[in-house]
Structure formats: structure tokens, C-alpha cells
Structure 1
Amino acid sequence: MRYLTKDEVAGLLRVSVRTITTYMSQGLLPPPLQLGRKLLWDESAVIQHLQPKPKPIVANKTAGPARPGRPRKVVLI
């Protein structure tokens, strides 16, 4: 088990250290282990957390595709 500092996580993800702080506040990273003033992440947990999640399969979709834009006015004569 290897622990990564904030700088190492930023290097792994190829983003800035400030972006890691933003990701933490948005919940995009697993919670770190705090030792004094130092934050440490388990490397395998970070990699696993960032893997794409499978989308659920929706069966029997009854409505057709939605058309973009505003609905048209209907003029009654």
C-alpha cells in the first residue's frame, strides 16, 4: 500500500495542486488520511475512485427522443 501526497496526486492526474483542493471540496477524490498537517491518499483508492462507473441499463424506454428548442405555438382558427 502506497500513500500519495497532494503534490503526487496532482502529478498523477496531471493537474495543479489547487485543482486537487477543488476536487476535494467537490467530492471527486476519496477522503484523505490526515497526519498532522499532511494529507495522504491511498494510491489504489485514488485510481479506483477515478475509474469510469458503468451506466445502468434502462429498459422499455417508451418516449421517443426529445426535440431540442422551444415548443412551437399552436394557432387555433
Structure 2
Amino acid sequence: MYLTKKEVAEVLRVSVRTITTYMQQGAIPNPKKIGGILLWEEVELHRRIKHASPSAVEPERVKRGRPRKVRFA
């Protein structure tokens, strides 16, 4: 059975945008493009998640914006 990006997001309990980020970071297996739609094999997705390290499933959050100035007393 194949899952759409929205269904993968529901399985992982994240947003659809996060799935795109996971794809770019290699945290989830590459999808297959069938009829112009990205689809993931359900079995392969569950296998990857089961054997993945926690950092591969939930990548570090990158702080956005300018770093704070460090002030010394």
C-alpha cells in the first residue's frame, strides 16, 4: 500500500511541510512518483522509522534570525 504526503504526515504526527524537510534531510525514504504524485511504500516507511535513530526521525530545530549578542558584566 502506498501513502501520500498528507498520509505520511498523519502517520508521523507532523505537518506536510515537515515531510518536505525530512525528505531533504534524508530522514525518511525517498518517495516514488506515480502519476505525478509522490507516494511512499507504507512498509518501507515503517521499517525506516523503526530502525532510525531519534535524531533521524526528529531533526534538530535550527534557530532562525540573528544570533543574540553576548554581554559581559
Both structures adopt the same fold (TM-score exceeding 0.5): yes
Q: How many residues align?
A: 53
Deviations 1:36-65 (A, max 9, x none): 3210000010000011458xxxxxxxxxxx
> Identity over aligned residues, as a percent?
53
Query: Structure 1 residues 53, 8: closer, same or farther in 2, change over 3 A?
Result: closer
CA root-mean-square deviation: 1.5
1:7 maps to 2:6: yes
Larger % of helix: which? 2
Structure 2: how far apart are the matches of 1:19 and 1:43?
18
- TM norm structure 1: 0.64
- TM norm structure 2: 0.67
Q: Where in structure 1 do 4 or more consecutive aligned residues deviate above 2 Å?
A: none
Unaligned runs of 5+ in 1: 55-77
